[in-house]
Amino acid sequence: MLLIKFGGSVISDKSSYLSFRADVVKKIVDTLPKSGFMVVHGAGSFGHILAHKYDIVGGYADWKKLGFARIQRDMEELNLRLLSMMIDADIPAVSMPPHSFLTLGKEMNFDIFDRLLNYGFVPLTYGDAVFHTEKGVDICSGDLLMLELARRYKPEKTIFLTNVDGIYTHPPGHPDARLIHEFPRDKEAHTELQTRDVTGGMGYKIEVMREIAKHSKVYVINGFHPERLKNVLNDEDFVGTVIV
């Protein structure tokens, strides 16, 4: 079993509302096998911009209702585009919208995932606006879903596709930034909070990856270079980061 995240920063330009990178996604989908994996996708500009505007992580308030509804609508639209591309590539992908199967603060119900995997389908889920037992509403990040799914299904490989080459010693662009090929699980990395990323950006992702590395081999690679994904799938040398 493989678990792959299509980062929101890959499938969309996070600074421009509803921008979808169809050609990039198509190349990634064409690199994937036809079954034996699960996909989580991020939100990019289909989620982060409105999530920030309506302060969804701040919990429920009456004025946020339309924002909550719009984010779910926008995410379904993004998800449908990915779903269509996967099905058009003969991958039996089935969409699992988080707002319809999970409430944060409660244990996640994996029943349908179990069934999908037993029948050989490819579950496709994503970061979404969802209910929360205490706060009322919240954002469930794609990274959290990666953690939940990795804990449950213990994939051999867990791959994060993002818009940078891997984990750097400092935020990319910083003069001292160097790509780390083997990232020790207990190492500290300097990260910056991405202003448009309401779910913690690379800092939170590293926390999640440390945890997943207990169950799986974890990779961070650049989604704009699908040959690197192919290299990781084939156990070849690759440009990127592996958590060790």
Ligand X SMILES: Nc1ncnc2c1ncn2[C@@H]1O[C@H](COP(=O)(O)OP(=O)(O)OP(=O)(O)O)[C@@H](O)[C@H]1O
Binding site for ligand X (CB under 6 A): 7-10, 42-44, 48, 142, 162-164, 167-168, 170-172, 189-192, 194, 197, 199, 201-202, 205
Nearer to ligand X, 37 or 183 (CB): 183
- 201 annotated binding-site participant: yes
Which residue type, as a one-letter code, is found at position 202? M
172 binds, among Mg ion, ligand X, none (CB under 5 to 8 A by kind): ligand X
Tell me the closest approach of the beta carbon of residue 107 to ligand X, in angstroms.
23
Q: Which of 66, 28, 72, 26 is nearest to 47 (CA)?
A: 72
- 6 annotated binding-site participant: yes
72 binds, among Mg ion, ligand X, none (CB under 5 to 8 A by kind): none
Tell me the closest approach of the beta carbon of residue 158 to Mg ion, in angstroms.
15
Tell me the closest approach of the beta carbon of residue 36 to Mg ion, in angstroms.
26
What is 222-240 written as a DSSP string? ETT-HHHHHHHHTT---SS
Question: Angle between the 142-153 and 201-212 helix axes, to the nearest 10 degrees?
Answer: 0
Listed in sequence order, the DSSP H helices in 121-188 are: 142-153
- 174 annotated binding-site participant: no
Tell me the closest approach of the beta carbon of residue 106 to ligand X, in angstroms.
23
Structure tokens at 87: 């099905």
CA distance 119 to 72: 28
Contacts with 196 (C-beta within 8 Å, 6 or more apart), sequence order: 14, 15, 45, 48, 49, 52
Q: Could you tell me if 96 and 165 are in contact, meaning their C-beta atoms sit under 8 angstroms apart?
A: no
38 bridge partner residues: 3
Name the residue with the smallest CB distance to ligand X: 42
- 5 annotated binding-site participant: yes
Nearer to Mg ion, 117 or 168 (CB): 168
Which residue matches tokens 């389908």?
121
- 12 annotated binding-site participant: no
Tell me the closest approach of the beta carbon of residue 216 to ligand X, in angstroms.
17
- 48 annotated binding-site participant: yes
Nearer to Mg ion, 165 or 197 (CB): 197
Structure tokens at 12: 């969309």
Q: Which residues are annotated as a binding site for substrate?
A: 43, 48, 142
Q: Which residues are annotated as a binding site?
A: 5-9, 43-44, 48, 142, 201, 205
